[in-house]
Amino acid sequence: MGILSKCFGGSSSSTSRKQPSATVEDLCHRFSLEQLRKSTDGFDKSRLVAESIFSKEYRASIYVNGELKHVTVKRLRQEAATSSYGLISYKNNIIFRCQLHHPNLVSLVGFCDDHNEMIVVYDYDYAPKGSLHDQLYRTERNSPTLSWKRRLEISVGVARGLHYLHSGTKRTIIHLDIKPASIFLDENWVPKLKISGISVKGPKFSEKEARPIELESVIFTFGYVAPEHLVNAGVTHKCDVYSFGALLLELIGGKHPYHILGLHQVCDIKELRNLAGTGNGEGIIDESLVGEIAPQCWELFMEITEYCLSEDPKERPDMGEVEVQLEHVLQLQEEADANRASQASLMAQEIKDDIFPR
């Protein structure tokens, strides 16, 4: 019996053990360890694309239902697989991701739990442009920076993915790892949010009051963690909203939230407004974006960011509201760009008429 059946729990009867695993197999593909060994050349170093203290990730090509797919094979290290975090992480990856289908989420292809292995296989073609972190902090000389409109489009896509996690399934899914390194960009710059092993399933979406979920251990990335999560006071979907606010700040500032917010993680609306100076973004805005952002677009974007970063979780908006507001910000920017282009065209025509009068 694979370790996934044990992870899902249940009674000791044969029927109880088999049912959860069969349900998962209906939703995603179960690979054999031999298949994955072959596709990764025995988990060879030349196939390695990423690694952490918990896992190693390999690039591979493998047939799934007769179709050749380019995939990433994420294999938990044995020491992590025997830890409580490893078990929870693997369980979360399978339970959450095999049920999630959204254009702004990384797709799960399958899993392998042969011989107590903990392996997750996901689509590799989701990230030809790399991660958002790669694009924001490119070190190559003369490499183009992300335009303001592109950053807005990415933020809207991530908001849609988060909104789906929070309200698009029977139970709220709390991501808990929102940051540029968790967001990947396809060939059309569509953002794909990657579900991490620390994500947790929250209360039913129909419940009006979001009850905090207490975690056995607190794992986070400094700079994006909500104040209540930092002190292990329990997590809700509003923790993701805070992290998303930090991401918005990073998109407009071009710097890690820590360098913008300072040493104190908590930043209320008034403090952030003061940091913005006179309203033109001094001290916050990425130098490469100067002159690109329409004034009304800036004001609304910063208002959304500020509310997402509210210290009190109850004052933070839901992601559905954030999504709608960001779509409006994008619309304002597109209208401003169109007006600017129209004015430039008229000016060019006037100059032409002055030089070459009819």
Cβ–Cβ < 8 Å for 173, 239: no
Three state DSSP letters for 113-153: CHHHCCEEEEECCCCCCCEHHHHHCCCCCCCCCCCHHHHHH
What are 324-330's contacts with CB under 8 Å, separation 24+?
325/300, 326/152, 326/155, 326/156, 326/159, 326/301, 327/156, 328/300, 329/152, 329/297, 329/300, 329/301, 329/304, 330/149, 330/152, 330/153, 330/156
Alpha helices in the chain (DSSP H): 3-8, 14-27, 33-39, 78-81, 84-97, 132-136, 148-167, 227-230, 237-253, 257-261, 269-275, 295-308, 319-355
DSSP 235: B
Going 256 to 259 to 264 to 270, the CA torsion angle's sign is: negative
Rounded Cα distance between 241 and 346, Å, is: 43
User: Rounded to 5 degrees, what angle do the CA atoms 33, 128, 107 make?
Assistant: 50
Token pair for residue 109?
């292809």
Residue 354 annotated in active site: no
The string over 58-83, giving b where at least 16 C-beta atoms fall within 10 Å of a residue's C-beta and e elsewhere, is bbbebeeeeeebebbbbbbbeebbee
SS3 275: helix
Catalytic member of 177, 186, 268, 318: 177
Cβ–Cβ < 8 Å for 61, 67: no
Cβ–Cβ < 8 Å for 138, 73: no
Token pair for residue 273?
């407004």
Catalytic residue positions? 177
